[in-house]
Amino acid sequence: MTNRPKIRTLSTVSATVTYLLFDLDETLYPSSSGMVHEISRRMTRYVSRLLDLDEDSAARIRRELSRKHGTTLTGLMSEHNFKDPESYLEYAHPTDVERFLHKDPELIAALGSIELPKSVLTNSPAEHARRILEYLEIEHFFERIFDIRMNAFRGKPEREVYLRVLAELSREASEVLFIDNRLDYLLAFREIGGRVVWVADRPAQEEAGQGVPRIEHVKQLPEFLERF
């Protein structure tokens, strides 16, 4: 019988970090999966039909709205008087997540080795998050899913989103470590006193110089926490 190495659990990281807050898309699974590319394609098509634009123009509008407002949806509601967010969310998020994702025992082991409580904060709808967490067999690690509906369809990086989550968790910002693949979302959380880790599985560019700690994959989080 082969002796399996024992998994060391991490129950305490520092005197201040008591909670882990995870982004979902391209954080809990690799950016190479194609999932976000498919979501982006669907969002562009929706905007194209909504605003009667060709898809190149719709893609440009989407980029501008996301840059200014954090999400395309928030931008549509703010600048185009859009009032049907549920149809947008349903159209944009594929239900066949198994087409893009692969089950990963190492991810399960990594999350299971961290005993700090965890939740998900995503700009996607909760049903999309649940589909992914269930398919990856990691849903039991997370206490809650905070989704785009939580703050009237206004998502990260709005300050109010983070403050609402912290209030729901009864935590100070300095107690929470936020893990995300979007640097602008992380910087906004750091501005209110939170701790941050950037998941970037592509080579870091100039953005890495802003002092945000970086890991290539969330599976490296246990090692990062030991050094923290």
Chain segment 142-191, per-residue pLDDT in tens: 999 999 999 999 999 999 999 999 999 999 999 999 999 999 999 999 99
Q: Which residues contact 123 (CB under 8 A, 6 or more apart)?
A: 70, 71, 73, 147, 148, 155, 156
Please state which of the four CATH numbers 3.30.200.20, 3.40.50.1000, 2.40.170.20, 3.40.50.150 is assigned to the domain occupying 19-31+100-227. 3.40.50.1000
Q: Which residues contact 21 (CB under 8 A, 6 or more apart)?
A: 118, 119, 120, 121, 165, 169, 176, 177, 178, 179
- Domain ranges in the chain are 19-31+100-227, 35-92
Mean pLDDT of the chain: 91
Mention the CATH class of domain 35-92.
mainly alpha
Residue 1, pLDDT above cutoff 50: no
The tokens describing 131, both together, are 């589909």
What does the pLDDT average to over 200-207? 66
Q: What is the DSSP string of 72-125?
A: HHHHHHHHS----HHHHHHHHS-S-GGGT----HHHHHHHHTB-S-EEEE-SS-
Q: Is 36 helix (H, G, I), strand (E, B) or coil?
A: helix
Q: What percent of the chain has pLDDT over 90?
A: 86
CA-CA distance, 149 to 181, in Å (whole number)?
Answer: 21
Residue 135, pLDDT above cutoff 80: yes
Q: What is residue 16's predicted lDDT score, i.e. its pLDDT?
A: 84
Q: What is residue 15's predicted lDDT score, i.e. its pLDDT?
A: 53
What does the pLDDT average to over 109-128? 97
**Cα–chain center distance at 7:** 26
Indicate the Cα dihedral angle 43, 44, 46, 50, nearest 10°: 130
CA proximity to 119, closest of 95, 90, 143: 143
* Residues 157 and 165: beta-carbon distance below 8 Å: no
Q: Which residues contact 204 (CB under 8 A, 6 or more apart)?
A: 214
Residue 139, pLDDT above cutoff 90: yes
Number of Cα atoms under 13 Å in the Cβ half of residue 60: 4
- pTM above threshold 0.95: no
Question: Per DSSP, which regions of 13-54 are E strands?
Answer: 19-22
